[in-house]
Amino acid sequence: MKKLFTIMALIALTVGSIGLSSARQSSASKAESVAGVFDYYLLTLSWSPTFCLTHKDDPQCTGKGYGFVLHGLWPQYAKGGWPESCPPLTNLSAAETAKGLTLFPTKKLLDHEWSKHGTCSGLGAMGYLDEADKAVAAVKIPEELQPFSSSYYFEAQEIADLFRRSNPGIPSDGIAVICNGPELSEVRVCMGKNLQFGACGKGVKTQCRAGDIRVPPSR
């Protein structure tokens, strides 16, 4: 019986040590997110009609006819992953919110993107929004992917090629096409801290099925 108690005590000590180690690892991971410490940006453009298929009550889905909208400008690490929610966390002022709403389709998305990603830019809120504005302006949306009234079908590589033809500076490894099931969801463009097109880091790649994918019409 004494031997059994000894074994149980050792198991409890081991489990406790593992839990403490995991907590320390989690804490260390959070501590790694430092404002301004990242390698490049990922400009993420969302195809609004696909988002609206499952979010019909969202303010951007009320007949505004959006095509691509700004999802976010995300600081990234070249080796994979990204910082997030970098301290100090601050709310947007009225002036910053007004600026943000000229870029993002809804206040909810604006607040989320600033809190999770913008805080890690190290630029402050207005600086981050100015950077997002410049990033969006630097990418020309292909004519074939402007808002339209009926569905179109492309392969993911065709969509990437359309963007690269409209933006010759985007390298072959500098863009990723993301799908939500059979529909186009997002196009992600990799940009340096100077907002010049560049190669994507580890883990950023196209995520779509083979063959044609549907690009739903604007609402």
For 193, other C-beta atoms within 10 Å of its C-beta total: 15
d(CA 109, CA 151): 26
DSSP letter (8 states) at residue 45: E
**CA neighbor of 84 nearest in space, from 104, 114, 111:** 114
Catalytic residue among 71, 96, 131, 183: 71
For 8, other C-beta atoms within 10 Å of its C-beta total: 10
Catalytic residue among 55, 84, 117, 186: 117
Question: Is 55 part of the annotated catalytic residue set?
Answer: no
For 206, other C-beta atoms within 10 Å of its C-beta total: 15
Question: Is 71 part of the annotated catalytic residue set?
Answer: yes
Residue 160: partners with Cβ closer than 8 Å, 6 or more residues away: 175, 176, 177, 187, 206
For 87, other C-beta atoms within 10 Å of its C-beta total: 12
H helix or E strand, kind and range, residue 215:
strand 212-215
Active site residues: 71, 113, 117
